[in-house]
Chain A
Amino acid sequence: MSKEKEFIEKISEILEVEPESLTPKTDFRNDIPFWDSLKGFGIIVLIEEDYGKKLTVEEFLEQKTIGDLYKKAIT
């Protein structure tokens, strides 16, 4: 499994959707049902714990797509 695909699977668990429904272009706030701030903090914690990258809330709010999040996580 590619690293990006693995990232999308982890994100899908937080968003409570099937991984196949997500792509790097998915707007994770608007394209999934029932977005809330707890899911947002779930993503921040995922990136911090699994990728060692600490995002501020402001930085997180600047990210629009799952691809944006992946770039933040790996750089």
Chain B
Amino acid sequence: MKLSELSNQSRIGFVENDADFCALGKLNALSSEKTLIFLSEGKYIPKIDESLVSAVITTNEVGSALRSSSLGILISDNPKRDFYIAHNYLIQSGFYFDRFDTVIDETAIIHSTANIASQNVRIGKNTIIYPNATILENSIIGDSCVVMAGSVIGSDGYEVIEIDGINRIVSHAGWSIIKNNVQIETNTVVCKGLFPTRNTIIDEEVTIDNLVHVAHGVQIGRRSKIVAHAVLSGNVTIGKNVWIGPSAVITSGIIIGDNAKVSLGAVVIRNVPSGCTVSGNFAIDHEQFMRFMSKIIRSFKE
């Protein structure tokens, strides 16, 4: 799609330099070529990777600093707002995905009180959906999965934009993809991706306990275990065979390597290398944390 076409149809800003784009994305979570982003402040210009970004919605001031680039530029007095107005328009216009009637395999067991959206849901063989679980649009659930009572798959994540003075949660256009043999306990929420370029993906044999929050764009590797009340913020990437302890909080965009462990109650604000264990708030290497705590305890006793 051309930037000029988007500007005309969704009635936002004016195009200073036209360009094609194939996807929308946020600068901190890009994953496909020819992406349209928004940029409110010039300090983020160096972070633009032109192999992924083809066009920018931005202010006149920031736009002037981008004129020497080959990027498409759409000038707006409020780039973030207009980006999401364009996004809402693109959802309505069918830019992101085709609609289809929900497909539930005949061997799947759906409890009579479970709620399954009538469109854009697929449920695989031998999957069981328990009472009062809700499967919303743009959810793909594989074979032999279990979604226990009260869990919600495919809800919008938390992305807020002020439009006409009112705070609104942005409609999400990505997917929640749950692969085979995943088990999700009760009252857990798995949000769908904000854009289809960063879907929420839960790989095979992942087990998720009660009351876990899986935000938009989170991707969890095979056989990882997520224990009760963990909070996985937006676009977190978790490797294979990872253990996330009870009430751990993982900040947006963090990458946790394969076979890592996050102790109970840890607040993770830095990437965790493969095989490492981290503890504490803010989380550090487990051994360092334990030595530190031991020294504090000793100092109190003296």
Contacts and interface: CB of A to CB of B under 8 A. Distances in A.
Interface of A: 13, 37-38, 40-42, 44-46, 49, 57
B301 A37 contact: no
B294 A13 contact: no
Nearest 7 interchain pairs by C-beta: A41-B290, A41-B294, A45-B294, A42-B294, A45-B295, A41-B291, A45-B291
Contacts of B290: 37-38, 40-41
A49 B301 CA distance: 14
B298 A49 contact: yes
A46 B291 CA distance: 10
A41 B291 CA distance: 6
Contacts of A13: 301
Interface residues of B, number: 9
A44 B293 CA distance: 12
Given A45-B294, A49-B295, A49-B298, 11 more contacts: A37-B290, A38-B290, A38-B293, A41-B291, A41-B293, A42-B294, A42-B297, A45-B295, A45-B298, A46-B298, A57-B287
A42 B293 CA distance: 8
A44 B292 CA distance: 11
Contacts of A45: 291, 294-295, 298
Contacts of B293: 38, 41
21 contacts: A13-B301, A37-B290, A38-B290, A38-B293, A38-B294, A38-B297, A40-B290, A41-B287, A41-B291, A41-B293, A41-B294, A42-B297, A44-B291, A44-B294, A45-B291, A45-B294, A45-B295, A46-B298, A49-B295, A49-B298, A57-B287
A57 B295 CA distance: 16
